[in-house]
A and B are shown apart, each in its own frame.
Chain A
Amino acid sequence: MLLELRNVSKWVKSGGMRTFLLEDIDLEVEEGEFISIMGPSGSGKTTLLNVIGMLDEFDYGEYSFLNQPVHKLKSKARAKLYKEYIGFVFQSYHLIDELTVYENIEAPLLYKKLSSSERKAKVAETLDRFNIVAKSKLFPEQLSGGQQQLVGIARALISSPRLILADEPTGNLNSTQGEEIMERFKELNKEGVTIIQVTHSEKNAEYGSRIVSLLDGKNLSN
């Protein structure tokens, strides 16, 4: 088992009332799965993804990732855990504008203890794999949306994560570009990478092996 959520709830208080963002979520994810989280706006999809990615905290419940109790870890240990095993892909790509394609892809490696030659080798390999060697010196604003997302995925993959979390990765792309990206994810999944994506699109959800439906913070699929 890759990760497991037990009775996870997250709420905000307003006027003494609890408004649940996530309510009593149970979720088990095995290695190699390709999961799509679906649901209407405000149903808590992104919040759930952020909780899984350890970017956001929750108020109640238990979360274990590779048998480590995430809810008991200090923030530094959590950061260490996700930087080791998780890669993120965002709807709006979130590349660093001031860095070139090469440097963006290299960025996660800077926070790991790698020598510069190891970094060079890894970045070169990744650029090659994604066919973007020619673009390595360009800045994000010089790329199309699809190309930027490709760089985003390349960046997410460079540290060889076990899990990819993708928040509407095709949301800002046209359909052709979107399909390309989804094909990439499918390939990656075949290679053994676990993927959890948030999506609105039924078509994209079909690439996955399982669908988790959320409504008002509750998991409907159980």
Chain B
Amino acid sequence: MIQNYFKIAWRNLLRYKGHAFINIGGLSLGFACSVLIYLFVQHNLQYDNFHTNSDRIYRVVTEEHRDDIDFEASVPPGFAQAFRTEYDYAEKVAKHALWDNELISFPDQKKLKEDVAFVEKEFFEILNFPLTHGGVADLSEPNTAVLTETMAKKFFGDYDPIGKTFQLGGKTLFRVIGVLKDIPKTSIINTEVFLAYSSIKDYSQFLANENGWGGISSNLQVFTLLHPNQSIPAIEKEIQGFVKKYRPRSKNVHHYKLQALADIHFDPRYSGGISPNMLWIFGLIGFFLLLMASINFINISTAQSVNRSREVGIRKVLGGLRSHLFWQFMIETFLICFTSLIIGIFISVLALPYFNDLFNLELDMNALSNAQFFGFVIVLLLGISILAGTYPGFLLARIAPVLALKSKLNPKDAGGFNTRKVLVSLQFIISIILIVGTLVINKQMKYAINSDLGFDRNGIVRVALPDTVNESRLNSLKDRLENYTAIEQVSACFGSPGASDNRWGTSLVYNNNPETEEFQIQVKIGDVDYLDLFGLELVAGRNFFARDSVDEFVVNEKLAEKLGLNSAEELLGKSLEVSGGFMKGNIVGVVENFHDMDFHEGISPVFITARNDSYSELAIKMNLENTSASIEYIEKEWTEVFPNHLFEYEFLSERVENLYESEQQILSLSTVFSTLAILIGCLGIYGMILFYVGQRTKEIGIRKVLGSSTFNILVLLTEDFFKLLAWAALIASPIAWYFMNLWLQNYSFPTELNWWVFALAIGMIMVITLLTISYQAIKAATAKPVQSLRTE
């Protein structure tokens, strides 16, 4: 029986090749996307699930309560030791300090820049990153290091790395004592060089201090393995005692929280990898694409049921029951879905490299060979077969044999006429929402990237400076660079005004007030050329003079606002004490506000001053005519001054764009998926117009005989589609508006949600629909009426 069903299903596929193509084409694309999305979601859900005791591992993070709340995925350096000795909640506690992009040099003069992490011994006892031979790495001795296999190869080639040495940042010599198995990509830990924590004293006094409670460095993470069965809220409440004990007077009130290991990847507040919303959106889009393909299937099958009705009639006369016919159709659907699935998996394998490229991922196909994927595919296959097959199957099985055999069945008896209209509208709605989404994200990106940020970025290149720079060498480098004709100006600084890797927010005391202010101020350090080079406009006062001591500050207008002053002038001449007296001086100038952060954030109060020991990069402004020659020149000069270091540069404008990396990803995502949605939708509409024209051949013939023009016929054939589109636009616009408005609320500086975005989306669909149906419609409208009438 089933064999017979398969046979006839196959023959029907061959017989109606066009429809088969539309059905299988759409479903294959839908399945291909689903497989890719599955891989993506699966990848994200697997983060750090491979550690023994995963459920008892936590990271300690901090909520900083000032006038607003900041979230730091870190704690003060003194926390770990205090948590270890003063309480008995934890079996183990370990610090992990990231030192990114640090120079690593080898005895044979080879140089590299790599991210490294200083970790305490217990780090490898909490998290499972075993040595290649299976043991646990022990970094209790100072100046020891372990590397992953890949990194060991990169460092020492095929030589045995054990016992080999390398120097970090031109300071300490580290000895390799072990090689780790490569760390899975699905871990929040992605450094591949681990160093004994005790050696951090050579790099950061702040992080080395076991009793430091004064501030937080985002480089530090503290992991802990708790004893079993403890109440997290109770622990969090108890450790709040640290704040009273160690930071009794701070305006920045810390709240220490335990973040479960499994949550780390998903918490954007603590710069987690991805927000769970993104996974939902991905999943939803995959579902929508499959839904659209299923709708095509339903529409084509119900429209085709007139063609199939004779067979249904005969089978009923021969004794077939409704259930027989229903299942026969379900098996046909299953066969089509199965074929599509196989093609879809094939497409996804081909598309995976591009997908990885687009979304900066390293997914691989290994995940496709496990039982879980098999389960997913089975569920998907059955789910879509049922979604797509049930309704048309039911309609087909219901056909009355007497009518079917007499060929008296008209399309309305075959059913699904109104259903098809609703379904086509639904496809329009999904397409409109996806296109509006894409347009709005694109608009916001353009707005964020192309808006005047309040500082110049064109032609500005950032060049990193080594950690310790001798002032005279720095000045000689500046002079040599400025001598080059294409270079207009050079400024040594801590970071650019906006889009900076280096951020430093700290406390301030204004005008010798007894109290620290409730808010943080952002520290920008730059030499006298800083303001001019970045085009920061003074609104009051003057720039600071070049001097040896720090005693003159320039601030921004936002500070005046935060302090509740009426004008920028009031700030002039007032004293400012920053970072608990670390820097002290008078305000001599006020600049216009600029975007020191991306458009998600508001503008912070900022102060700018010169400070010779804090420069970490050179900002170089050059004309854009022969940039590669200029860069070459800069590299040459730089390397002469710092022969033991690696030269690196980056354009500021690129860095501004990189602020919106995740948005870029969402944009590529929505572009790809809305294109696919439109493609699948077009397939469906093409299928519908085929039937539509077929059904109305006679009507068109009669109308033409009665004197109707070709244009009238075209209007007749297209107006129904446009009516559906109008309905869809009416329903889709508010939905799209609601969601995009919600999305824009993530931004302190959102773009406007103009009406034309919606008009453009609807217009696009209209044009695409028109193009899709035009060939068939024109063919029908220009056909000779004699032929169409003769066939009757």
Q: State the A residues within 8 Å of B (CB).
A: 50, 53, 55-56, 76, 79, 82-83, 88, 90, 94-99, 103, 106-108, 110-112, 155, 159
A96 touches B401 (CB 8 A): no
A72 to B324, CA, bound (A): 23
Residue in A53, A98, A110, A112 whose beta carbon sits within 8 Å of that of B12 in the complex: A98
A94 touches B310 (CB 8 A): yes
Q: Which of B53-61, B314-322, B702-710 contacts A (4 or more CB under 8 A)?
A: B314-322
List the 8 shortest-distance A-B pairs measured between CB atoms, nearest first.
Answer: A83-B319, A111-B319, A98-B11, A108-B318, A94-B314, A88-B317, A56-B402, A111-B320
A99 touches B324 (CB 8 A): no
B1 touches A103 (CB 8 A): no
A58 to chain B, nearest CB (A): 12
Residues in A with CB closer than 8 Å to B11 are 98-99
Question: Is B7 located at the chain interface by the 8 A CB criterion?
Answer: yes
A160 to chain B, nearest CB (A): 13
Instruction: List which B194-212 residues lie within 8 A (CB) of chain A.
Output: none
Can you name 27 A-B pairs with beta carbons within 8 Å?
Answer: A53-B317, A55-B316, A55-B402, A76-B321, A79-B316, A79-B319, A94-B313, A94-B314, A96-B311, A96-B314, A96-B315, A98-B8, A98-B12, A98-B15, A98-B311, A99-B8, A99-B11, A103-B4, A103-B7, A107-B315, A107-B318, A108-B318, A110-B4, A111-B318, A111-B319, A112-B319, A159-B319
Q: Which partner residue on chain A sits nearest B406 by CB separation?
A: A46
B398-434 near A? 1/0 per residue, CB < 8 Å:
0001100100000000000000000000000000000
Additional 11 contacts, C-beta under 8 A, given A56-B402, A83-B319 = A55-B316, A55-B401, A76-B321, A79-B321, A88-B317, A94-B314, A96-B314, A98-B12, A98-B311, A110-B320, A111-B319
Residues in B with CB closer than 8 Å to A159 are 319
Residues in B with CB closer than 8 Å to A112 are 319
Most chain A beta-carbon neighbours within 10 Å: one of B311, B315, B319, B320: B319
Total A-B contacts with CB atoms under 8 angstroms apart: 57
Residues in A with CB closer than 8 Å to B324 are 111
Q: How large is the interface on B (under 10, 10 to 19, 20 to 34, 35 or more residues)?
A: 20 to 34
Knowing A96-B311, A98-B11, A103-B4 are in contact, say whether A155-B402 is a contact too (CB < 8 A).
Answer: no
B407 to chain A, nearest CB (A): 9
A83 touches B318 (CB 8 A): yes
Q: Which partner residue on chain A sits nearest B5 by CB separation?
A: A110
A82 touches B311 (CB 8 A): no
B15 touches A111 (CB 8 A): no
Residues in A with CB closer than 8 Å to B1 are 110
B405 touches A94 (CB 8 A): yes
A54 to chain B, nearest CB (A): 10
B1-32 near A? 1/0 per residue, CB < 8 Å:
10010011001100100000000000000000
Residues in B with CB closer than 8 Å to A110 are 1, 4, 320
Q: Which partner residue on chain A sits nearest B1 by CB separation?
A: A110
A173 to B76, CA, bound (A): 98
Instruction: List which B359-384 residues lie within 8 A (CB) of chain A.
Output: none
Q: Which partner residue on chain B sits nearest A47 by CB separation?
A: B402
A97 to B312, CA, bound (A): 12
A176 to B550, CA, bound (A): 119
Most chain A beta-carbon neighbours within 10 Å: one of B12, B315, B317, B320: B317
A94 touches B321 (CB 8 A): no
B58-96 near A? 1/0 per residue, CB < 8 Å:
000000000000000000000000000000000000000
A90 touches B12 (CB 8 A): no
Q: Which partner residue on chain B sits nearest A95 by CB separation?
A: B314
B207 to chain A, nearest CB (A): 76
Residues in B with CB closer than 8 Å to A55 are 316-317, 401-402
A183 to B321, CA, bound (A): 33
A114 to B316, CA, bound (A): 18
Q: Which partner residue on chain A sits nearest B314 by CB separation?
A: A94
Q: Which partner residue on chain A sits nearest B320 by CB separation?
A: A111
Q: Which partner residue on chain A sits nearest B401 by CB separation?
A: A55
Q: Which partner residue on chain B sits nearest A79 by CB separation?
A: B321
Q: Which partner residue on chain B sits nearest A152 by CB separation?
A: B314
A83 to B83, CA, bound (A): 83
A88 to B314, CA, bound (A): 10
B1 to chain A, nearest CB (A): 5
Residues in A with CB closer than 8 Å to B401 are 55
A93 to chain B, nearest CB (A): 10
Most chain A beta-carbon neighbours within 10 Å: one of B8, B314, B402, B405: B314
Residues in B with CB closer than 8 Å to A53 are 317
Residues in B with CB closer than 8 Å to A97 are 311
A94 touches B402 (CB 8 A): no
A167 to chain B, nearest CB (A): 9
Residues in B with CB closer than 8 Å to A94 are 310, 313-314, 317, 405
Residues in A with CB closer than 8 Å to B405 are 90, 94
B402 touches A50 (CB 8 A): yes
Residues in A with CB closer than 8 Å to B320 are 110-111
A106 to B8, CA, bound (A): 13
Q: Which partner residue on chain A sits nearest B14 by CB separation?
A: A98
A48 to B157, CA, bound (A): 93
A110 to B5, CA, bound (A): 10
A115 to chain B, nearest CB (A): 11
Residues in B with CB closer than 8 Å to A96 are 8, 311, 314-315
Instruction: List which B486-514 residues lie within 8 A (CB) of chain A.
Output: none
Q: Which partner residue on chain A sits nearest B328 by CB separation?
A: A110
B406 to chain A, nearest CB (A): 8
B457 to chain A, nearest CB (A): 68
Instruction: List which B311-358 residues lie within 8 A (CB) of chain A.
Output: 311, 313-321, 324
A132 to B407, CA, bound (A): 28
B90-132 near A? 1/0 per residue, CB < 8 Å:
0000000000000000000000000000000000000000000
A56 to B400, CA, bound (A): 9
Residues in B with CB closer than 8 Å to A106 are 4
Q: Which partner residue on chain B sits nearest A93 by CB separation?
A: B314
Residues in A with CB closer than 8 Å to B8 are 96, 98-99
A108 touches B402 (CB 8 A): no
A123 to chain B, nearest CB (A): 12
Instruction: List which B281-332 residues lie within 8 A (CB) of chain A.
Output: 310-311, 313-321, 324
Q: Which partner residue on chain A sits nearest B15 by CB separation?
A: A98
A103 to B1, CA, bound (A): 11
Residues in A with CB closer than 8 Å to B317 are 53, 55, 88, 94
A65 to B319, CA, bound (A): 17
Residues in B with CB closer than 8 Å to A50 are 402
A111 touches B311 (CB 8 A): no
Q: Which partner residue on chain A sits nearest B11 by CB separation?
A: A98
Residues in B with CB closer than 8 Å to A82 are 319
Residues in B with CB closer than 8 Å to A95 are 314
Q: Which partner residue on chain A sits nearest B2 by CB separation?
A: A110
Instruction: List which B587-629 residues lie within 8 A (CB) of chain A.
Output: none
Residues in B with CB closer than 8 Å to A103 are 4, 7
A140 to chain B, nearest CB (A): 11
A95 to B402, CA, bound (A): 15
Residues in B with CB closer than 8 Å to A76 are 321
B320 to chain A, nearest CB (A): 5
A83 to B401, CA, bound (A): 14
A39 to B324, CA, bound (A): 36
B187 to chain A, nearest CB (A): 56
A53 to B11, CA, bound (A): 30
Q: Which partner residue on chain B sits nearest A112 by CB separation?
A: B319
A174 to B120, CA, bound (A): 99
Most chain B beta-carbon neighbours within 10 Å: one of A55, A98, A107, A155: A98
A159 to B77, CA, bound (A): 89
A60 to B317, CA, bound (A): 23
Residues in A with CB closer than 8 Å to B319 are 79, 82-83, 108, 111-112, 159
B404 to chain A, nearest CB (A): 10
A6 to B317, CA, bound (A): 24
A107 to B324, CA, bound (A): 12
Residues in A with CB closer than 8 Å to B310 are 94
A95 to B313, CA, bound (A): 11
Residues in A with CB closer than 8 Å to B15 are 98
Q: Which partner residue on chain A sits nearest B318 by CB separation?
A: A108
